[in-house]
Structure 1
């Protein structure tokens, strides 16, 4: 059975596969669209299995806000060449839009969402067959608040989302989203620093004080002082505002609107910090 250009274009629209891959699949399937799609799918599964131990360190990080809700996601691949491909970026956008529409609870839920005739996870595997590279969805997260904002750094390798407890201007919200991108905080405030991280930092601070020969009866006090410095480095509200070091982010927000604060954020990067 002769394969027509219309058939090839139709299969390409259904799968996102390249024209030649669609032609070959249709030829092998003797024009049967279901069989052709299965051929393309199996190719993706084979590539995914073969390259499962490879490092997917490149990719595309995108984020969007609908006002009171914002989500972020990273679709990873092996090379920058694939990451910059229009179809790859489009797939990332489509997955992000879907997760936002469905308000996926976590990464597993995002991967399980219906996508085309299968799931998001299967769509990513299918694309592996097209690109010939390992691909995986990663870095998914969302925030909700009275106001949310996003920042995507040029190149789609770094993005942030942030939520606020009350309405504020787009300019103020964007400044905080950029602060998160630039300064890489790990928590909103001291109270929300993960317990294991805090315990490790206290241990490091105490060990350093001992190595410096400080008296044992002063070790705990010295360690606490260093923890306060640690908070100023990693807690968003305690960080110096990058555009005006005389202000902390907490003071910058309160100056913009009394009582304004951050309730949550997420930062995803494919770069080395």
Structure 2
């Protein structure tokens, strides 16, 4: 049967596949759209299998928050090349996925893959796009933050995204953005010293002892010196204790309290492609 250009265009909008691929699929199925979609999906599965061992080093990082500002979702969608990572359709796919995730109960990348997007499971949508684009695509990172206020930040170039949760509402939005940009720039390891993973604390203490020993410090002083260096590490590497990049005479904790009494960060997520 003759395949109409309008039908080819319709299938292209449904799948994102190229015009010739859509025409070929419709021709093979005598114009059956569901069967044509299945052909395109199988092409994606074959391509995904071929490229399963390929390394994904490029992509885009996206972050979004709910209308009430109390929940945010952040993810990294990876691909093989910078060309694809900056492609509008690829970025739009990442935005669609993170929005679907935000409006669900998903908390892991595995759960996100099972969500529905445009009538199909996200894992199948990604497989279709692998066939269309010809590159491996995967959700590399995903997280959710819930708080009284959640502020998102996507760094220029979309290689890094941040979500920061705060314990209050109604404060100046610029304050939240400043803190999100601080997280992006300074990459803190935790909100405060109590939130730093035990293995990092142990590693810093070990490094502190070893360095003091190399410097010839007395054995009896090694633990005390290591604790002192750990304190410096907390000041430099935990968000609330870090010097505010816009005014290094005050810490982030002091900046927040000055903006609104008792204002603090409850949680943050920082995802970067590099």
- Is TM more than 0.5 here? yes
Contact 1:114 1:120 survives alignment (8 Å): yes
Cα deviation, residue 91, structure 1: 0.8
Which of 190, 213, 217 pairs up with 2:193?
A: 190
Q: What TM-score, normalized by structure 1, do the two folds share?
A: 0.96
Q: Deviations over 1:115-134 (max 9, x none)?
A: 23321112111111111001
> Which residue of structure 2 aligns with residue 31 of structure 1?
31
Cα deviation, residue 192, structure 1: 0.5
> Which residue of structure 2 aligns with residue 15 of structure 1?
15
The two structures, once aligned, show a CA RMSD in angstroms of 1.2
In 2, the alpha carbon distance for the partners of 1:114 and 1:267 equals: 26
Which of 119, 127, 130 pairs up with 1:128?
A: 130
List aligned pairs for 1:151-190, cutoff 5 A.
151-167=153-169, 168-190=171-193
> Which residue of structure 2 aligns with residue 52 of structure 1?
52
In 2, the alpha carbon distance for the partners of 1:82 and 1:26 equals: 26
Contact 2:107 2:142 survives alignment (8 Å): no
Contact 2:97 2:122 survives alignment (8 Å): yes
Cα deviation, residue 154, structure 1: 1.5
Bigger shift: residues 138-147 or 247-256: 138-147
Q: Deviations over 1:182-213 (max 9, x none)?
A: 00111101000011121112111111111222
Cα deviation, residue 107, structure 1: 1.5
Q: What TM-score, normalized by structure 2, do the two folds share?
A: 0.95
Which secondary structure state, in structure 2, belongs to the residue aligned with residue 7 of structure 1?
helix
> Which residue of structure 1 aligns with residue 42 of structure 2?
42
Q: Which runs of 5 or more residues in structure 2 are unaligned?
A: none
Q: Aligned pairs, how many?
A: 271
1:114 aligns with 2:119: no
Contact 1:124 1:137 survives alignment (8 Å): no
Which secondary structure state, in structure 1, belongs to the residue aligned with residue 151 of structure 2?
strand
In 1, the alpha carbon distance for the partners of 2:237 and 2:127 equals: 36
Q: Deviations over 1:11-47 (max 9, x none)?
A: 1122122222211222233322222111111111111
> Which residue of structure 2 aligns with residue 265 of structure 1?
268
List aligned pairs for 1:239-254, cutoff 5 A.
239-254=242-257
Q: Which runs of 5 or more residues in structure 1 are unaligned?
A: none
Cα deviation, residue 231, structure 1: 0.8
